[in-house]
Structure formats: C-alpha cells, structure tokens
C-alpha cells in the first residue's frame, strides 16, 4: 500500500467518523431539515453551510484552532454529494425533478 493510499484512507475515515457522529447527535437534519424557522430545501441549506465555511476560510479561520473548518467543509460537500445521488436516483425512477423527502415542507 502506498503512502498516498494510506493518507487518503486516514482522512476519509476521519470524515466518515465526523459525519456519523454528527448524524447521531443531530439526526439527519442536513438532508431532512426540520423547517421550523427556515423553509430552505436540504440542498439550499447545505449550500448556505458550505458558503459559511468558505467565508470562514477566506477570513483566516484556518489559522485558528477553535474549529476544524476544513473537515466541516468536506463533510458538507459529502452530504451535498449524497443529496445529489439520491435526487438522481429518484429522477431515474419516475422522471421527477425533485427529491421531496429532502425538501423542506412549506
């Protein structure tokens, strides 16, 4: 096994553990938003969170030890990929353009 392979496996394991830990703590709130105050869809909510993390990076948050912005950003991108995969599977089944299970209810 190459060092690159080992490094990729190590980082991906960290992200996996982060996502599973947060899912256990908060439920599936990123992909199934509660929608009490915000009526954003799951996808829009993820995009807002990604924007927030990018803003923190731009503002120099990488120099601070208070939060792991990079792992959070990667985690949100993985969640966005999961959402897109599920939306794509749904589209293939019935031709719908929307994955209702992951959209906020009005």
Tens of pLDDT, residue by residue over 6-50, are 999 999 999 999 999 999 999 999 999 999 999 999 999 999 999
Residue ranges making up the domain that contains 39: 3-102
Mean pLDDT of 50-73: 87
Kindly tell me if the per-residue pLDDT of 92 is higher than 70. Answer: no
Cβ proximity of 102 and 87 under 8 Å: yes
Q: How many domains does the chain have?
A: 1
Tens of pLDDT, residue by residue over 47-59, are 999 999 999 999 8
Mean pLDDT of 51-79: 89
Kindly tell me if the per-residue pLDDT of 65 is higher than 70. Answer: no
């Amino acid at each position: 096994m190459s060092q690159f392979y080992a490094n990729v496996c190590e980082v991906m394991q960290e992200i996996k553990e982060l996502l599973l830990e947060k899912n256990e703590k908060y439920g599936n709130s990123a992909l199934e938003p509660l929608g009490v105050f915000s009526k954003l869809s799951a996808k829009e909510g993820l995009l807002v969170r990604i924007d927030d993390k990018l803003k923190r990076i731009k503002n120099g948050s990488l120099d601070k030890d208070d939060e792991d912005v990079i792992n959070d950003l990667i985690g949100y991108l993985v969640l966005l990929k999961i959402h897109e995969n599920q939306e794509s599977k749904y589209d293939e089944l019935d031709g719908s353009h929307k994955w209702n299970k992951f959209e906020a209810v009005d």
